[in-house]
Amino acid sequence: MRKVIALGVLATLLPTLALARGNHPMAGCGLGYLLLSNKDNDKVTQILGGITNATGGQTFGISSGTSGCTEDGAVKLARATEVFADVNLTSLRQEMAAGEGEYVNTFADLLGANEATRPQMVRFFQSEYQTLFPTAGTSSEEMLQTLSEKLAAHPELLG
């Protein structure tokens, strides 16, 4: 029964969650921000907002970029990487096979490589090419999933 109620509340708040953005008070972003953002910005309201955020709503907001949480850091970077890979998949495929190129260097930077580790990461893309693109129809999403699994074993490439 609790799950049904929680889903009902979430469904009711979802449109608001998607529209709320930044400029949040001391309690931060999250469900507490949404429920109490139009209230007085006093200490009691902020404490109640903080307690409400501690229920897990803030985690959802941060990871999804909703509930007044801005999409900075990892979420924004991951999304930028996904878009770049999707839009430039043909060029990435060619340059990863060749082990050089503007697109593959930019992609390495988006993944977190620095100036020192970028050449190693580009060589890594080339050495893992068959795994990253097992078929001609491999999508950017499939490539990114495989790449994520492979890079987990090589954190030194991320700078």
Residues above pLDDT 70, as percent of the chain? 51
Q: Cα separation of 116 and 137, whole Å?
A: 32
Q: Cα separation of 10 and 17, whole Å?
A: 9
Q: Judge whether 77 and 109 are in contact, CB under 8 Å.
A: no
pLDDT band for 128, please (50, 70, 90 cuts).
very high
What would the pLDDT profile of 104-116 be if each residue is shown by its tens digit?
999 999 888 999 9
Higher pLDDT, 55 or 144: 144
pTM of the model: 0.55
Q: Is the pLDDT of residue 120 over 80?
A: yes
Amino acid in the structure at residue 132? L
**8-state DSSP, 66:** -
